[in-house]
Every structure is written in C-alpha cells, then in structure tokens.
Structure 1
Amino acid sequence: MSTETLQNARRQIEICNACRYCEGYCSVFPAITRQTAFADGDITQLANLCHNCRGCYYACQYTEPHEFAINLPQILAEVRTDSWKEFAWPKGFARAYDRHGVAIAGLLILCVMTLIFLAGSLQNGGSGAGFYAYMSHVVMVAIFAPAFLLPLFTAGISIRRYWTHVGDGRIALKDLRKALQDVATMRDLSGGQEQGCNFEDEDRFTNARRVAHQLVLWGFLLCFAATSSGTLLHYVFDLHAPYGFFSLPKFLGVPGGLMLSAGTAWMIRLKLSADGALADARVRGGDMAFVVLLFAVSTSGLLLYAATGTALIPLLLTFHLATVLTLFLTLPYSKFVHGFYRLAAMIKNAKAAK
C-alpha cells in the first residue's frame, strides 16, 4: 500500500480523533476514539469498516478550502481498495480489473459464452428436460464447480492476509453474531440516527442507499439459496430440474432475482449521480462493472425463466451462464470481495468494542 496514502489517512484520522464531532455517525468514529496512535493495520481496519456513507464529510468544518483539507470518505476509500489489491492473490489481475473492469467483464462474458456454446455443440445438447436439453448436468457441473470453488479459495487467502495484517486472533461466536446482525440491517448506512446517509444528495439524509444494499444482499442470498436447494433436490432427493413454480428453487429464486435486479439498478443510478470526489476514482471502472454484472446475472435469470418453452432459451441460457461464471471468476478482484473484508472488519470491531 502507498506510504503517502497511509500517512494522509493517519493525519486525517488523528484530526478526527481530536475533534470527535461525528462520533454518532457510524462505527468508524467510536473505533477511532478507542486509541490515540494508529499503526498501518489500524488504518486498514478503519478503512474497511467505513461504508462510505459520506455524512461525516458534509458535517465536517475542516473540509476544503480549510487548510486541513479533510476528506475522510475519499482517503479511506483509497486505503480500502489498496488493501484489497495488496492482499489479493495473485495481484496482477486485480489492478488491471480496477482500470478496465467493464471491458474485462464484457470480454470474459463473450469468451465464456463461446466456451459454453462450443461445449453444448460438441455434446449435441443434453439428454434431459428444460435447460439440460441444451447442456447436460455433468457439463454444467464440470464448468461451474471449479469456477465457484477456486475463486472462493483465493478470496480466503486474501481475507486471511487481511486478518493477520490488522492483528487479530480467534473469532468469537458472539462477535460474529454481532457483525452479522449489523450486516443484515446495514446499520452503518443508517447515519447513526436511522435517518440514512448522504451518499447521493450532499447534506440531505436518505435511506435510499441502505435499502438498495439490502435488496442486493437479500436478493443475492435468496438466489444462492435457490441454487443450493436445487442441488439438494437433485443429489439427495433425486428430483431433477426443471422445477415448477411452486417448488423451493422457484419460491426462493424468483423473489431473489427481482430484489437483486431492482437493487442493482438502483445502485447504478445512485453511483452515477454521486459525487466522485468522495470515492476512489482509480477503481470506478471495476466498481461499476461489479454492479452491472450483478444486474446482468439477475435480469438474465428472470428473462430465462420467463422465456421457458421458447426459441430464446439457448441464447438466454448461454448469456446467463456466462454472466454467472464471469461474476465468480472475477470474485477475488472485483468489489464482490468487499463483502468478505467488511464482515471481517466488523467482526474485529465487535471484538474491540467490548
């Protein structure tokens, strides 16, 4: 990580620690007040604890043109993204994705679509019903299982590096429970008094970003639960797709897809209207690519279900599978990984707040 960036972050954090005007805004400021000196690991921890709600910036009396030039959301965003790249394994692709995220994601989708199309052509389609009439279950598992497990493995290495850097040990169950509760409610996007944050409209508090994040989080978890339930039905109960509307995969997947599509579309709009000077401009491409890719995954999945029985299925299936595969292949290098880092930061914060 850049020494200059860390020094600037340390300077601003020390000023905030002396001022303490923003103590009630989010978890970052109580965490700052628990110490008087800040090592590099402490700054990295605070940066990953920050949700970039921006309320502190608009409340601060020391922003430019004041000589202190405080811009805590921006500097913590820079430290945060630097930490993701520093701990990523391997590192090279992570930095390229930041600069050209949308282009890389688009190219990966095209390449994966070609791969899936060729795989389906070589086997002359599958022998089952529904999706499996175009690609067999065996081929899907052979392609997607490694693409899902390997990125999780590399992300695990990254989080372990982070956990070692911030200097913490074992995870207590009660700390994990507290962190998960805060994640579920997006407490740190509430502005401290439940009025919301200032992400999209300067000094006006709104809960728009909090609600959008909750739609994305719970929509993604429902979609993941739908896929998991389908796997259990297939392997444990010998019940194979396609499943009817009143089945568990559809009962979970359709609402999850709708929530994920709505949440990502909302977040795209918020990101386009937000002040770029309060974020890390270096990673704008990768940041936007992640949200657009999530939107493509959820929307193509819904379209695929709506097109059941039509001639559009082969094309939509290929595109949907390509977007899902691209999402997981880029997991350790895209903003997808921020969820793991943020959860780790919140666990450490819960432990330190005792």
Structure 2
Amino acid sequence: MQALEVLTREASMLANGSSMRVIPILNAREAEVGRQMQICNACRYCEGFCAVFPAMTRRLEFGKADIHYLANLCHNCGACLHACQYAPPHEFAVNVPKAMAEVRGQTYADYAWPPAFGRLYQRNGLTLSLALSAGLALFLILAVAMKGTLWGGGLGGSFYQLFPHNLLVGMFAPVFLYATLALAMGVRRFWREVTPATSDAPISGPAAAEATDAVLRLKYLDGGHGEGCNNEDDAFTLWRRRFHHFAFYGFLLCFAATAVATLYHYVFGWVAPYELPSLPKLLGVVGGVSLMIGTAGLWKLNRLRHPLHGDATQKPMDLGFIALLFLTSASGLALWLGRGTPALAVLLCVHLGAVMALFATLPYGKFAHGIFRSAALLRHAIEKRQPSPIGLGDE
C-alpha cells in the first residue's frame, strides 16, 4: 500500500455508535518508514537479519505505533542497506537504517517527560554537552578557590575536606533521581502506545529472559549473520558490537562501584577514599578503563560510518553523549591517580562537573536509546510468542 493511502486511512474518523476516534496521522518520516516496510514486506530478503523484519512480516499495515516500535527495534547495523537491491540509487530508494534512525530520534522527543522538554534532544549536541561540563567544573573550581584550597591545601587525598559527603549527596541525588524519573515516564508512555500494536499478552518469564539476553549480548549488532555491522567501506566488522560492550559494561561497573561505596558508607561506616583491593575501587578502575576503551572506539567508528547508515542530524547528540562518558571515566581515573598530588582539588572539580553534566543530560540524550530499545525488544519477545495473524509468516 502506498504512503498516500496510509495517510488517508490514518486520517479517517471511525464511527462506533455515538463515539468517534481519530487514528493518528503519520508525519513525513513515519510515512517513509511505512512505504519502505511495504516494499520490504514484498521482498523479505532480509527477513533473518534482525528483529525488525520478523516483526514486520506480522503486519500488513503500519500505523504510528507500529512504526515507532519497529524504529526502536532497529539497531542501525547497516546490513539490510548493503544487502538491498532497492537501495539508492534505485528509484525505490530503500534505506531502512536511515529511515528508522530519523523516526527513532523523533520518538525520543515525542515521549520525553515533561513533554515540553522534548526539544532538548535536538539541542543536546557535542558543544552543549562539553560546555555544560566545563561550566559546572569552572563553578566548582571558583568555589574551591574562594576557600583557598584550589592547589595543595594539605588535603591528604580526602576530597570530603573540599566537599562534605552530605553536600555531594545533596548536589547529585536530586539530579540523578530526576533523570531516572524522566526516563521512566518517557518509556512508560512508549510502552503504553506500542503495546496494543504488538500484543496485549502479559510479560512472561521466557519473553523477559529472551529480551534480557538480546540486550546484554547486543544480539542484533551481529548483522544477522554473525559477521557484524557494515562500516564505511562496506566491510563487515564486529568492533561496533565490541566497543558497545566495553562502554555498556564499563558504565555498569562504575555504577556498581558507586552503589557498593554507598553501602560501605551507610551500612558499615567505612568512609571514602577507598584503595585497592577494595571492591568499590576495583569495580571503578576496571569500569573506568572499560568505559574509556568503549567510548574512544565508538567515537572513531561514529566518525567513520557510511553517511547512508543513519540520521546525520543526530551525530552531535551521539558524539556529545560519547564525549561525556569518556570525560567522566577519564577524569575519574585521573582523580584516583592524582589523589596524593596538589592537583587533587582541580581534578575533583573537573570530575564532578563531568558527572553532573552527564546526569543532567541523560533523559534528553543518546542514553535514552538503550532504554527505548530494551522496551521494544521486550515487546518483540512477547509478540513473537503469540499466534501470527492469518496469512502472515510464522517465526
């Protein structure tokens, strides 16, 4: 079915007794995904590549919720683009990774909470992320300088002499809790919209286990054939998946280090700083190194990716998030290595500025893609366990 027919049908008002309801109209980006999915549904050459295509074959029509769901299932590996006989310069101009990326970025803004903050996704670029980090660090440096403890000061490696523990909690806890709430509310809205378009079946243990496995292994970054994503010269590579793993698990280890340190402080009364081989330090060092490797690699691959692989307008947001993750891990390791030097105060301010900038931008930056994609993978795992619609292919 052509995009115009989809738009016409979506715009129609359906009467049911005395009640009326309006089916959401597709915008240009969503209509383009619908057009391409109709072509792909007739071809099905890429059916085994990733979760998008089996989910696509369960549909004859593509409404707004279906398109938002499929866009967040897409991992932008590029395999379908390089395998497609209808890709540019063919007149059909099928480019699923680019079309999906454009809609995916739009969904982050559409489901943002509060809704008025959705535009922050378009403004959260590399320059803004680094400027925010630098501005916060400078503010902290000036505050420390006014106390006369910016350089040296006989701190003995203890940053609580600069910023008491309760002050740090008061600074970071509200920002972190707000970021968590905003992300949770956003993905809740997404879940409620796409659920009727997938299946009303409840979450089952097997479905949850399958989705968790797909998230933790980044299953669909293997290109559907185990050889990996396509890079700028059409060659397959697994490095995008590997660097994602370094960054993902490095972030989790750093978060675990903070959680264990919190436990140490409030339960056992063991006050920071902690040294090796303590668990918080071990988790933090390993996580920080892993995060640096992952973000450095992803930065390089992002800069080298084929221009047809995604939405070029989202590059500043992607690079801003990568840069903040790298700066957070690098400054944390530098703080540990320089804890006994006169530079402790400056290093601490730089690290705190990076962490606060990261937390402040989490709900409105690339971090959201992991949350929305996980929700889409769970919906896919639930949907595939239901009977296929009549006349459509079984999985």
Calculate the TM-score normalised by the size of structure 2: 0.85
Task: Determine if the alignment matches structure 1 residue 229 to structure 2 residue 260.
Answer: yes
Name the CA distance, whole Å, in 2 between partners of 1:159 and 1:100. 19
Where does residue 12 of structure 2 map in the other structure?
none
Task: Determine if the alignment matches structure 1 residue 137 to structure 2 residue 150.
Answer: no
5+ residue gaps, structure 1: none
Where does residue 339 of structure 1 map in the other structure?
370
SS of 2:236's equivalent in the other structure is: coil
Cα gap change, 1:88 to 1:270, in 2 (>3 Å): same
Letter paired with 1:310: T
CA contact (8 A) 2:327 2:354 kept: yes
Name the CA distance, whole Å, in 2 between partners of 1:68 and 1:50. 20
Name the CA distance, whole Å, in 2 between partners of 1:308 and 1:129. 5
CA contact (8 A) 1:25 1:55 kept: yes
CA contact (8 A) 2:71 2:101 kept: yes
Name the CA distance, whole Å, in 1 between partners of 2:337 and 2:205. 42
Name the CA distance, whole Å, in 2 between partners of 1:96 and 1:182. 29
Task: Determine if the alignment matches structure 1 residue 3 to structure 2 residue 27.
Answer: yes
Where does residue 61 of structure 1 map in the other structure?
85
Task: Determine if the alignment matches structure 1 residue 105 to structure 2 residue 134.
Answer: no
Q: How many residues align?
A: 353
Name the CA distance, whole Å, in 2 between partners of 1:97 and 1:324. 19
What does 1:288-299 correspond to in 2, within 5 Å? 288-299=319-330
Where does residue 276 of structure 1 map in the other structure?
307
CA contact (8 A) 1:294 1:327 kept: yes
What does 1:81-160 correspond to in 2, within 5 Å? 81-99=105-123, 101-117=125-141, 120=144, 130-160=158-188
CA contact (8 A) 1:97 1:104 kept: no
- Choose 139-148 or 158-167, whichever is displaced more: 158-167
Shift of 1:51: 0.5
Determine what percentage of the aligned residue pairs are the same residue: 43
Shift of 1:107: 2.5
CA deviation profile, 1:279-335 (whole Å, cap 9, x unmatched): 112222111100111111111111111112001111111111111111110111100
Where does residue 306 of structure 1 map in the other structure?
337
CA contact (8 A) 2:79 2:223 kept: yes
Name the CA distance, whole Å, in 1 between partners of 2:90 and 2:248. 38
Task: Determine if the alignment matches structure 1 residue 187 to structure 2 residue 219.
Answer: yes
Shift of 1:243: 0.8
Of residues 64, 68, 74, the one that matches 1:44 is 68
CA contact (8 A) 1:55 1:203 kept: no
5+ residue gaps, structure 2: 1-24, 386-395
CA deviation profile, 1:167-186 (whole Å, cap 9, x unmatched): 25543343222111111111
Shift of 1:110: 2.8
Cα gap change, 1:159 to 1:123, in 2 (>3 Å): farther
Where does residue 273 of structure 2 map in the other structure?
242
**In proportion to residue count, which structure has more helix?**
1
Cα gap change, 1:99 to 1:280, in 2 (>3 Å): farther
CA contact (8 A) 1:48 1:80 kept: yes
Letter paired with 1:326: A
Where does residue 23 of structure 1 map in the other structure?
47
Letter paired with 2:341: T
Name the CA distance, whole Å, in 2 between partners of 1:28 and 1:123. 57
